[in-house]
Structure 1
Amino acid sequence: MRLADASTVYRLTHFGTYAVVTILETALCLQHSWFSIYHDHVQLALHILRVLLLVWLCAITLELAPRISNTDEDSATPLYPGSERTPHGALPKLDLEGDSQTKGDNGRNASNEQLQRVEKLGGWWAYLKEFRIFLPYIIPARNKKFYFYGVIVILLILSDRASNMLGPRLLGDIVQQVYELQGTDQLPWRHILFLVFVIKIPHDLVLTPIQRGVLTRFNYWSYQSLFGFSFETIMGLSLEYHDNKKSGEVQEAINQARSLHKLVDDFIVIWIPFVLDVGLAFGYLTYLFDVYVGLVLITTYVCYGIVSYKLTPWVVKQGPAYKEAGRAAANIMSESIANWPAAFYFNRQDYQKCRFNDVTKRELWLETQVYDRRQILTIAHNLVLILGHCAAMLLAARRAVRRDKSVGDFVTLLMYWAILTKPLFTLQHVYKELIALTIDAEALLQLHQTEPTVVDAEDAKDLVFKGGKVEYRNVSFAYNGQKPVIKELNFTVPPGSTVAFVGQTGGGKTTTCDKLLFRGYDVSSGSILIDGQDIRHVTQHSLRETLGIVRQEQCFYNDTVLEVVRFARLEATNEEVYEACRNAAVHDQILRFPKGYQSMIGERGVKLSGGERQRLAIAQVFLRNPKIIVLDEATSTVDNVTESEIQDAFSRICEGRTTFVIAHRLSTVEHADQIFVLDQGRIAERGNHEQLLEIRGKYYDLWTKK
């Protein structure tokens, strides 16, 4: 099947084919020589020659098997619907607004791209190796209990296999004895009691619950490890990524950790027992009847696999579109909840409802399509099992009618067939789940393959603070290689001085003082130095521990006022938090809240007014007590009285500290030591307040219009 479907020939695929044929030829050869009384020596010799040739072909294909390079460009790019490289390392954007045809095309493209990637890598095995980065987290090898429980699981699996082998044999013996004891008062007590108390009760009431309990712990460990790893990855990515992410898509990607850790359970509970059962059953049924019964069993498995291989891609073809519709619905719901005020004030609740309903209707329609196709696959699977069962019964019944085998042996075959085909009903879902899982997990894989754009240098050292001198040397910067927003900035901020940046919106003020100084982005050219140390050569942790900022848009967790302020310095006492709030002129306002400092502020501080949110952010800076301060429109949403109080507090906290001030209210920066007027990413004017007014340039125009 692999050779017929592949557009490129892979020697490992040839090897798999030759190996299977070798095993079957060997089995036929042995059966011919051992069980046939009137065998033909020439035919036997030809059988042996074919086996030797197949063994030689296997050796040749292994020797010449090509090695797949992990550095291949296509394999390095993770697959995901719309897998073209997205700016700043963000997850690819889902078409939430596109029509149904577009979404369906995206789903089909994902499936086609997946198959192309499998083809490119040389098969599913090479493709699945891409997910090996998750193995240390799926399999908790560092957990000491893992090895202890692992031994228990192995013993339980072996005992389960023994139970599966002995149970049908004992039941067959019981039926045979009942048949022979007909018309008497005797009962096969020994066999019945042995089956119940030695096989069934220990297996069903003791071993199986223990096995499930151990595997449940495995799942908990792997899920916790993988989920934590995913969260750590998100928190470790650069500002460049978070500026472009879609929270709903990222959350959906992280949630795929729940699916990935299920691989451990499937592998231990389904695959290992299945392989052992097939091997043992083939050997025992061949011994009990003949090789033909064993071959019927193997043929049934092979035909079942062919049906799965051929039909499953068709069944899961709608899977990517269905999953995409689910992600779209989750993203719309997440954004609608987070941005509810926008819908409220623009009176667009009905519009959002329509968007959500359209996506969910498509999701349900696709789910129905997937379900119908699965039913067709189930019918095909059942047909294979019925035909195989019929063939096995005819062979066994023929031996029993001829009295070559007993009725008990016939019953044993029937019981083995039920036990050995039962896992197939589970396995028919495993292949589909494996494909669907890889499509789902592509988002998680891409997330983990996203590299931070800002990383510590190998020789990075902690920043040594010597006063707070900041230098921008010929700094230029462009987002994602586009048009530069900062162009050849050169200025020096002496230790303990205050500099202000003013200018039109979009002039590059926040980029200069916030994103570049905090090293959310690295400069495109030039360098930024603090006390003579290039910030690219110091650790990010030590750099940001030195800095503090009050941003125009605050980011708060949904917690109490006390804990929100304490977030700036986790070890701070309650009294220190209260003092910081007094300095920010918000302490009295907090005391008027229903629960004071224990009041919840809501998601992103929605329960607070704009001025209260800004003053809480200022309180965080007072509590953090940084050595270098950035004030980005720190008083833009407070009234004049409060602004005066905050400015007095700022004068105290900024005294002796290097301070960057970004402001549109020029009255807040007129006492700055230096004022830089930014215009289209360049410094158009520089000087103090009086000097700039004398120039009568851009600053003068801004001052006269304030």
Structure 2
Amino acid sequence: MKIDKSIYPYILREIVWPRRSLVFFGMLLIIIGKLAALVTPWASKRLLDDVFPEKNQQLLTELIIYVIIAVLIQSITSFLLTRLLSVEAQCMITNMRIKVQKRVLSQPSKFFDRHSSGELVSRIMTDVAGIKNIVGTGLVQLAGGFVTAVFSIAILLTISVKLTLYSLIPLILFVYLTLKGYKIIHPFYIDKSKILASISSRLVESINGIRVIKSYNTEEHEVEVFEEGAMRLFENIKKTLTASALVTSSGSLLMGIATVFIFGVGGSMVIKGGITLGDFVSFSLYLSFMISPIIQMSTIGTKMTEALAGLIRTREFLQKKSEQEDEERSMNLPEIQGSFEIKNINFAYNKNIPILKNINFSVPQGSVTAFVGPSGSGKSTLVNLIATFNKIQTGDIILDHKYHLNKIHLNNYRKNLGVVLQDDFLFDGTISENILYSKPEASFLELQNAVKSAFVDEFTDRFKYGLDTVIGQNGMKLSGGQKQRISIARAILKNPKILILDEATSNLDVKSENFIKKSLENLMKNKTTFIIAHRLTTIEKADQILFIEDGEIKERGTHEELIAKKGKYYQMYNYQSRM
């Protein structure tokens, strides 16, 4: 797998350039630090060639002062470099995570059908983390190491051209092998991100579905599935470490060979008087200053390769358009009334398998429309179109006789929408926090009214902490009926113009259902309501009932009219009545 070359201008434009002042300052610090480090080889030459032969105490004192100052400069620049760039890198990671999470949440519903929650968590948290090696000390050290190597080569050439050329031959070979090695390593990091996302996804699912796992006694199966993923990750990391180790060890080998040549050739030159002992020692030290950053650059390069893999995957998400960026959806709604005209709607998730076929009906303002029919008939798909969770493919939905649903800005439309699903989601927090989710700025009186209207207080009054009771992930500490009432209270609090109820009373016992029926009747007053119902007794008062089968409206009318027709609705109603 080749590296996408477009990632480099993206890094420069989006990551480095906005932080150019900090990056340039970091490079300045590392150059100052590296230049200060060059004092020690210079002082070593003076020590051997001038101080010892001449027994010059004053020069020795001066050299010691120079070395102390150089060490202090190195320490200060190292601290500032790490402090400034590491903090900025973490700041960038935080901002990038927020940016990616925001982009993920802005995607249409079909996006979440294709990506599991574990994969998305991995993209947001893990892939982004490696970026610290780009803006952190990694990029600056890479540049600083290059500058140091150039400086060192220049100084080495002034000491001995012959020795310098001997040292450059293995160095050039090492750089060539390193670049080849990175091309091998990069696909491993891409695969690592994918494997990690897959493992995370399964892990999240197994934890969320722990009751199903335990009820079917399949813990061993889940362990095997996780073990298989963990081993795939291990094999990937093993290949990555092996390739990285080969690059590093080849560098050490080549540099070792260079050192042997330098010792042999340099030692011979000292014996023959071609260079002084001080020249030889300082050359060896300067050589280490040339070699060390290059070896270090190979290590940093490995981390940069991993960062690139994560950034490529992160950019995939950032480049996705949000559903709010649909150029068709530019219309902002005024105060709406709530009437609908559904015209010639056809819809298919797969082109060869139509879900809805030529759906036509009208919904007056403030009326109640119920959808019934067998499972898989298209009821939920139709409701998802009305809720704008899916986009209309062919046909039209017109609001208030003039606003085309595909052209209305989503946020502007959804502020008028309230939804209560069959398995509505609750967050890990208190009961009051979950109800207030639909309207965080609501007053305490509004909250209390919603609680009473949905009969939430019927069970919270028995709890020690009342509305401040923490309910656990997805309300795991509550019964199905209690969770449903909290969801209904959340919709009541929002007080929307358009209401969608998907089996809103399905999880309630008879006593709770009677309470909720009364609260829903109050909630639905003056609101355009769409109901998906399997229990037909809950929709007897609906203004119109549409019986949908195989994606088509087979029957329509009020409860009384459909009973009188003695068709499919009548058969379903009689069947349920006998149960």
Taking structure 1 as the reference length, the TM-score comes to 0.77
Asked if 2 retains the 8 angstrom alpha-carbon contact of 1:561 and 1:597, the reply is yes
For 1:698, the aligned partner's letter is K
Following the alignment from structure 1 to structure 2, what is the Cα–Cα distance between the partners of residues 527 and 455? 20
SS at match of 2:123: helix
- Deviation, structure 1 residue 313: 4.8
Deviating more after overlay: 691-700 vs 450-459 = 450-459
Q: Is the CA contact (8 Å cut-off) linking 1:456 and 1:536 kept in structure 2?
A: no
Is 1:138 aligned with 2:35? Answer: no
2-side partners of 1:373 and 1:486: how far apart? 54
Measure how far apart 1:574 and its partner are: 2.7
State whether residues 131 and 445 of structure 1, in contact with CA within 8 Å, keep that contact through their aligned partners in structure 2: no
Q: CA distance change for structure 1 residues 322 and 549 in 2, over 3 Å: closer, same or farther?
A: closer
Q: One-letter code of the match for 1:507?
A: S
| Secondary structure of 2:397's aligned partner | strand
Structure 1 542/264 Cα, relative in aligned 2: closer, same or farther at 3 Å? same
Residues 1:557 and 2:434 aligned together: no
Deviations 1:445-474 (A, max 9, x none): 332343446743356121223311111111
Q: Distance in 2 between matches of 1:661 and 1:535?
A: 19
Aligned residues: 574
Residue in structure 2 matched with residue 527 of structure 1 by the alignment: 396
1:171-570 map, 5 Å:
171-181=44-54, 184=55, 186=57, 188-204=59-75, 206-254=76-124, 255-290=126-161, 292-313=162-183, 324-452=194-322, 455-457=325-327, 460-513=330-383, 515-531=384-400, 532-570=402-440
Distance, in Å, in 2 between the alignment partners of 1:564 and 1:279 is 61
Structure-2 separation of matches of 1:299 and 1:402: 24
Kept in 2: contact 1:693–1:699 (CA 8 A)? yes
- The answer to whether the 8 Å contact 1:283/1:294 transfers is no
3-state SS in 1 of match to 2:415: helix
- Residue in 2 that maps onto 1:52: none
CA distance in 2, matches of 1:239, 1:634: 21
CA distance in 1, matches of 2:379, 2:494: 23
Residue 565 of structure 2 is matched in structure 1 by 695
Contact 1:473–1:528 (Cα < 8 Å) also in 2 = yes
Q: Which amino acid aligns with 2:118?
A: G
Distance 1:645 1:270, change over 3 A: same
1:472–1:529 CA contact under 8 A, matched in 2:
yes
Q: In 2, distance between residues paired with 1:317 and 1:495? A: 57
Corresponding residue number in structure 1 for 2:33: 160
Q: Specify the code of the residue in structure 2 equivalent to 1:175.
A: L
Alignment pair present for 1:675 and 2:545: yes
Q: CA deviation at 1:705?
A: 0.8
Q: 1:548 to 1:321 in 2, by over 3 A?
A: closer
Q: How far apart are residue 191 of structure 1 and its match?
A: 3.4
C-alpha displacement at 1:169, in angstroms?
1.2
Residue 525 of structure 1: CA displacement?
Answer: 0.1
Once the 2 structures are TM-superposed, how far is the Cα of residue 480 of structure 1 from its aligned partner? 4.4
Q: Deviations over 1:193-221 (max 9, x none)?
A: 233332112322x2211121111222122
Q: Does residue 598 of structure 1 match 2:471?
A: no
The 1-side partners of 2:379 and 2:198 are apart by 35
CA distance in 2, matches of 1:654, 1:308: 69
State the identity %: 23
2:23 and 2:140 in contact (8 A); partners too: no
Between the aligned partners of 1:317 and 1:223, the Cα distance in structure 2 is 23
Query: What are the superposed Cα offsets for residues 113-142 of structure 1, whole Å, 9 maximum, x if unpaired?
Result: x13xx5xxxxxxxx242365465653482x
Shift in alpha-carbon separation, 1:243–1:168, aligned structure 2, 3 A? same
Unaligned runs of 5+ in 1: 1-113, 119-126
Residue 6 (structure 2) aligns with: 129
Contact 1:611 1:638 in 2 (8 A): yes
Structure 1 residue identity aligned to 2:448: Y
**Structure 2 residue aligned with 1:630, among 493, 500, 507?**
500
TM-score (norm 2): 0.93
Q: CA RMSD in A?
A: 2.4
- Whether contact under 8 Å (1:672, 1:688) holds in the other structure is yes
The 8 Å contact of residues 23 and 135 in structure 2, kept in 1 or not, is answered as no
Instruction: State how far apart, in whole Å, the 1-side matches of 2:37 and 2:137 are.
Output: 19
User: For the residues of structure 2 that align with 1:315 and 1:691, how far apart are their CA atoms?
Assistant: 70
Amino acid at match of 1:166: V
Q: Is the 8 A contact 1:138 1:226 kept in 2?
A: no
Matches of 2:179 and 2:553 in 1, distance apart? 65
SS in structure 2 of the partner of residue 501 of structure 1: strand
Of 374-383 and 329-338, deviating more is 374-383
State the one-letter code of the partner of 1:173.
R
Say if 2:169 is the partner of 1:169. no
| Structure 1 stretch displaced more, 217-226 or 148-157 | 148-157
Instruction: State the secondary structure of the residue aligned to 2:440.
Output: coil
